[in-house]
Structure 1
Amino acid sequence: MGIAITGIGSYIPEGVAPNKTFENHHFLNEDGSEFQHNNEVIIEKFKAITGISERRYIKDKITTSDIAFYAAEKAIEDAKLDRETLDYIIVAHNYGDVKYGSQQSDTVPSIASRVKHMLKIKNPYCVGYDVLFGCPGWVEGMIQANAFIKSGIAKRCLVIGAEALSRVVDQHDRDSMIYSDGAGATIVENTSKDSGILSHKSATFAYDEAHFIYFGESNNQEITDARRYIKMYGRKIYNFALSNVPEAMKNCLDESGATINDLKKVFIHQANEKMDEAIIKRFYKLYNKEAPEHVMPMSINKLGNSSVATVPTLYDMVVKKQLDNHRVNKGDIIMFASVGAGMNINAITYRV
C-alpha cells in the first residue's frame, strides 16, 4: 500500500523568449542607477550563472487558472479516473490571476475554485483551495494531500502547481530574465502498489529570512504608479539555500529508511543552475559521496524558473521520456525538493 502519483500532466506555454529578447531592455540597479556593462555582457553573465538560454510565456488572453486547468485535464486523463471522485483540488501559486496589462491580481474566487469550475465537477464535496508557499508550493501541496489520504478524510486528490511570472516582473530588473510561466498537475491516491511517499520534511525560516523575496517598486525611479513587482535578494537566497536545503534533504532521506545509494534522481526546483548544482554537491557531501553524473534532471535552460511549476513539469518530462539521459523506473527511489519565498524549504522521498 502506498500514497502515490497515479496521473501526471503539464502545460508548457508555446511562447518562447530567448535571451536575445532582452537585448533592448533598459536594465537598472535597484537604486535606479545605470549598469557599467551593456546588455550583451549582462545577458552573457546571466546565462553563465543561471543556465537559462530561453523561457516560456503564456499568451496574452490566458491566465494562471487557465494553465492550471490545462495541466489538470492531462493529469486526470493520464490517471483514467472519474473527476467527480476527486476529494480535493489543491492549487499552489503565488500571484493569482493577473490579466495581461493589469496592475491587480485576482484571487477571488480561488484558483482552485476556478479550476474546479472549468473541469465541470458537480460534486460539492470535492473541496478546492489554494496554497501560498513560495516556489515549494506544489511539493507542499503533495505533502498535504498525503496527510489527507493518510488520515482517511480523502481518497484522491488533484495537486497543481501553476504560475505566470511574466505578469509580475519588472522589465527594468535584470532578474526578470529568470522567470517564466508553466503548470504541472498530479493525481495522488491510495494504491495497492508498493510505491508512493516514504517521507517528507518542511521548514519555514522567517526570523531573518522572511523578506528575501518580496513585492517591490520598479528599478526605474521615473515610474510612479502603484504597481509592484517580484523582487529578490539573490546573493542572500543563494547563501541561504546552500546552508539549509542540503540538510533538510538529508533529514528527509534519512527518515525514509532509504540510503543515499538508493537515490536515483533528485527533482529539485529549477531556480538557478549554479545554485542547484551546489545544493546537490553539498547534499551528497553530507554522506561523504560525490553526486552521480545524471542524478539531477534540469529543464531551466529551456523553460526558465516557473516557480511552483518547475518540479511537476520536470517530473512529467522525465516520466514521459522527454529529457535526454533521464529515466525513472518502477521501484526507483527519487526525491522532490524545493526552496523559495517565505523562506520555505521542503522535500519528499518517493518510491516510483
Structure 2
Amino acid sequence: MKIGITGTGSYIPSIITKNDDFLEHEFLGTDGTTFGNDNAVIIEKFKAITGISERRYANPELKTSDLGYLASEKAIEDAGINKEDLDYIIFAHNFGDLTYGKNQGDTLPSLATRVKHLLKIKNPKCVAYDMLFGCPGWIEGVIQAYAFIKSGMAKKCLVIGGETLSRVLDEHDRDSMIYSDGAGAAIIEADPVSGAILGHSSATYANEEAYYLFFDKTYNNEGCPDTRYIKMHGRKIYEFACTHVPQAMAACLNESGVHIDEVKKIFIHQANEKMDEAIIKRFYRLYNKQAPEGIMPMSIHKLGNSSVATVPTLYDLVSKGEIDDHEVKKGDVVIFASVGAGMNINAIVYRY
C-alpha cells in the first residue's frame, strides 16, 4: 500500500523583522555582562553564520493554533478531501498557544483540538492530539500518520507543525535573532495518486545531550528571575547535528533501497545555514560523493527558524513553485530531515 502526501499548506506571518531592527537591543552574555563589539558587528557575524537577514513574526491577535488552522485549511483544499473524513489531526509544536504579551503557554485543550474546533469538524472519530518532539515534530507526526495508515487504523491524517517562538525570546540573548513564527500542514493518505513514503528513521539522544535546548531566565540580571525563555548551547548542537543527522539520513536512505544519485532535494530543518550546509556535505561524504548544486532549498534567509514549522512550510513553498530556482517533479525522490530539542533526530525518504 502506498502512503503519501496529497495536499500541503502553509501560513507565513506578515510582520517582517529585519536584522537592523536589533541594532538598539542590549545584548548580554550568559553572566549578564555586555559584549566588546557593538551590535552592528554582532549582527554581521550572526548573518554570516546563520544566513538570516529577516524573519517573520505573527500578528498579536494570532496564536500558534490559529496559524496551524490557517495552514490546515490550505492543505485540506489542496488535497481536495472532505475534512470530515480525517481520522487524525496531529499538531507538532513546543510551547502551546502563547498569548502576545503573556509568558505562560496554554495547551488546555490541545492545539490539535483547537484546530479541529476551528475547522468545525463534527466527526468525533477524528482524533486530535499534540506532538512534542522539538523541531523534528512535524516529520515525526508524518511518521506516526504513516504508521496509523499502514496498520489500518486510519486512511487520512492531517499533520501540522506550528510555532510562535517570537513570544519566548529573551531580547538580551543574541540567539533571539534566530527564531521566528509560522505553520505548515500536510494531508497524509493511503493510496495517493502519486507520492509515497519509502523509508523513515528516528532517534532520541537523552544523556548529556538532553538539555542542549532548554528553558531559563533572562541574561539581564535585573530582569524577572521567574520568567523563562528558550535557550540553547549552540556549539554543542552544531557538533551534535553534524555528527548524527547525516548518519540518520543515510540509515533512512539505505532502508528505502534508493540510490543516493536519485535524491533530487533535501528538505532539512532551517536551523542555521552553515550547520545545514555542513550536514549535507557530511551526508554525501558517507557515500564518497559531493553534494549536488541546488540539492538543499533554503527559506531561513527570509523566514528565520520557525522550529517545527520550517520543514512543512519549505516543502509547501517549493512544491508550489514559490522558492526561486527550486522545484520538485512527479517521481522525484526527496529527503526530509530534522534535529532539535530532546535531542531528537529523524528523516523520511519520499517519492514525490
Q: TM-score, normalised by structure 1?
A: 0.99
Distance in 1 of aligned mates of 2:146 and 2:279: 26
| Equivalent AA in structure 2 for residue 202 of structure 1 | S
Q: SS in structure 1 opposite 2:260?
A: coil
Q: In structure 2, do the counterparts of structure 1 residues 218 and 256 end up closer, same or farther at CA, with 3 Å as the change threshold?
A: same
Q: Does 1:218 align with 2:218?
A: yes
User: Is the 8 Å Cα contact of residues 2 and 193 (structure 1) preserved in structure 2?
Assistant: no
RMSD between superposed Cα atoms in Å: 0.7
Match of 1:334 in 2: 334
Q: Does 1:42 align with 2:38?
A: no
Distance in 2 of aligned mates of 1:192 and 1:106: 36
Match of 1:317 in 2: 317
How many residue pairs end up in the alignment?
A: 352
Distance in 2 of aligned mates of 1:212 and 1:25: 25
* Runs of 4+ that moved beyond 6 A: none
Q: TM-score, normalised by structure 2?
A: 0.99
Q: Does 1:145 align with 2:145?
A: yes
| Equivalent AA in structure 1 for residue 75 of structure 2 | A
| Equivalent AA in structure 1 for residue 327 of structure 2 | R
Match of 1:60 in 2: 60
User: Is the 8 Å Cα contact of residues 4 and 194 (structure 2) preserved in structure 1?
Assistant: no
User: Is the 8 Å Cα contact of residues 4 and 192 (structure 2) preserved in structure 1?
Assistant: no
Match of 1:260 in 2: 260
Describe the superposition over 1:116-162 as per-residue Cα deviations: whole angstroms up to 9, x where unpaired.
Answer: 00000000010000000000000000000000000000000000000
1:103 to partner: Cα distance: 1.5
Distance in 2 of aligned mates of 1:282 and 1:106: 39
Which of 220-229 and 85-94 deviates more? Answer: 220-229
Q: Does 1:304 align with 2:304?
A: yes
Describe the superposition over 1:178-197 as per-residue Cα deviations: whole angstroms up to 9, x where unpaired.
Answer: 00000000000002545310
Match of 2:70 in 1: 70
Structure 2 segments unaligned to the other structure (5+ residues): none
1:11 to partner: Cα distance: 0.1
Describe the superposition over 1:294-328 as per-residue Cα deviations: whole angstroms up to 9, x where unpaired.
Answer: 00000000000000000000001110001111110
Structure 1 segments unaligned to the other structure (5+ residues): none
Percent identical:
66
Distance in 1 of aligned mates of 2:347 and 2:192: 24
Match of 2:8 in 1: 8
Describe the superposition over 1:249-277 as per-residue Cα deviations: whole angstroms up to 9, x where unpaired.
Answer: 00000000101101000000000000000
| Equivalent AA in structure 2 for residue 302 of structure 1 | K
1:174 to partner: Cα distance: 0.4
Q: SS in structure 2 opposite 1:261?
A: helix
Match of 2:350 in 1: 350
| Equivalent AA in structure 1 for residue 299 of structure 2 | S
Matches within 5 A, 1:92-107: 92-107=92-107
